[in-house]
Structure 1
């Protein structure tokens, strides 16, 4: 490790390593390690790229325990030897659920189910039969979801989760409307399409990307159907030792004061550097929106936010201007389940701009 013994050497190494991605760096460091460190690397929890090499067990245990209850409920209604059962019935289902939890007390997953059930009853005055029926139909999958945007009690639970994890327990006043999606990538596609279909973005419009960024955010604006004029805002700040801090210069953020920039796309914490947006950068963005570009649409992808203690998303600090895309894939090791949500505050510039569209445009939206 002699190479790392002085600041100039560290700076040279940092410059060289800056040419490769963090994922390549991780692999190179593991290759350089001796055998004992390599063995440790095999158990390193890694959610950095693609599929995490671990899963969260408690949530899955509750999921499968709920599935057992769901099957029991269906067979209670009808149970044919050919493997056909009925569908869950709402009347009295909460009492049967409580009996199920008591019968299986101590089994994997039942404690989380019990705590969540009690939480919904105590904190949100949920109707017991309605709540358990929603859960049971969801796990059995026998009905198209209604409302199709997101189920009633699911939205309440996810709202509380986002308030805690994306807003550090201090959400803005009002509430967020949530839209369940088939993973974060689907959420991204829905956002791009929705902005276009609602005449909030048009082909050739000027948008900004805070880079480096998850590759699809670079590729989608270049598609022929969008062909946006893209401003890249680089995370190129250095500290006193000449090392990357992976933050953005205020002078670059201030370019967004120009109202020709309609939208800003950011991944926070960044991907791949994995750094949370600094307070200085957040304050600069708040100044841009408050004083210069009040209709700036901010799309923030916060999939890694749950790995940062005290994380605070732009959806908390600039709720009226921000669409948040959050995926459960990384934190719960559940990429295969395709679970994500889009959050939009009930008071937002998107609705306001749609309301101010020319009559012709609003007529087109009404027809659709």
Structure 2
């Protein structure tokens, strides 16, 4: 029997993956002062036994001001690094699943409360709040305090913070880095004409709006060992007229490929409250397909991909090289096991769990 495409191995740069299932980064809002806690050990630990090809650590801020909320994970100093190292050390005793990290800066969407407490922005004068920054002094919501427009010094500081966090990621033994250029966060804010109204070399034309995100990518690329895989998560469209769109995404993806990007993860939205998203199963797959047709590096599709046959069809037809799951993995942390059983493939599982294999599926576990 042929191996289903979803369970064929794949190389992303120099990183070998056993299958095409990616666990997407998911913020847990459970850090303390940027430090991972026991929650992350439990959360990431159980996902590391899921049988997926790659596990991605949640959006990890490169500066304290780059956190989405006061409870986000960071990687800006030695204490942050030590907390992540503790988590990874425990996980790697029991799992050899490759682990990536998403490095991020929230820009104008920073300084918010926890989602289950409403998620509203917290003003700088209140506890857990701080002044946000962005390409232009345009708030995400009219009711929010405007961010400070970044000057060249501020941009250099953020770029260098991405580099420092990349150094720390490599030192931690993390297998790959993803730069967060989607969902309305800082790098996406530079890309979209809806949030970038600058009149210098970093605003206006598409070339100018891409300049800072590409500078960050190049700086991180130059800071890590040759061949170390760096991917970028992008929003394929703002879902707002006059905003970032599919054509511009393709241009960015091609520019990233030219600079050595290992993979493109295509999501969408998050930049503007007027977005109109046609949510449904696989609603973002056409965005990934368009990028896939324009580049030769692996492309990851994400967004309400929950059905096993649907996931197999996405990679089998070439719409994308991998599929990423987030909320679906929270709901069913053994999704790859069940997909393998359904499609007639096999996955890795810890020895302690081998006896869970159904008697009629003798080849489910490798």
- The TM-score range, normalised by the shorter chain, is under 0.3
Q: TM-score, normalised by structure 2?
A: 0.26
The TM-score, its normalising length taken from structure 1, stands at: 0.26
- Larger Cα-atom Rg: 1
User: Is the helix fraction higher in 1 or 2?
Assistant: 1
